[in-house]
Structure 1
Amino acid sequence: MSGEDKANNKVEEFGGKAKEALGNATGDKDLQAAGEKDQTKSNLKQAGEKVKDAFK
């Protein structure tokens, strides 16, 4: 996993956390769900990259 990919995944994860927190604070369930989706997507990308790295 390249350093740039790792950084992009972390940015996406933190952005998702921010969306989720804002959605929780404002009662916006759609924003909350979007934040959770972003975090999940980022975590799956990170896991996939770790598997690839393990086989190198």
Structure 2
Amino acid sequence: MGLRDKINNKAEDLTGKAKEAAGDVTGDDQLKNEGKGDQLSAAVKDGAEKVKDAASNIKDKLTGN
């Protein structure tokens, strides 16, 4: 996973946490749920990048790179 992807995913996760907290404090369920969605999206993207990295590592080991 590239550094840019890691930074973007972390930023999306932190934005989601902030939205969720703000929604919780203000009683805004829509904002709270939007924050949870942002966090989930970041987690899915992070997971996909980890799978790509693992596949690349396996390929490298099999090809001797």
Sort the TM-score into its range (normalised by shorter chain). over 0.9
Q: Which residue of 2 aligns with 1:29?
A: 29
Runs of 5+ in structure 2 lacking a partner? Answer: 57-65
Q: Which residue of 1 aligns with 2:40?
A: 40
Moved over 3 A (4+): none
1:4-52 deviation line (CA, Å, top 9, x unaligned):
0000000000000000000000000000000000000000000000000
Tell me how large the CA RMSD over aligned residues is: 0.3
Higher relative contact order (CA 8 A, sep 6+): 1
Runs of 5+ in structure 1 lacking a partner? Answer: none
TM-score (normalizing by structure 2): 0.85
Structure of higher CA gyration radius? 2
Percent sequence identity over aligned pairs: 50
Q: Which residue of 1 aligns with 2:14?
A: 14
TM-score (normalizing by structure 1): 0.99
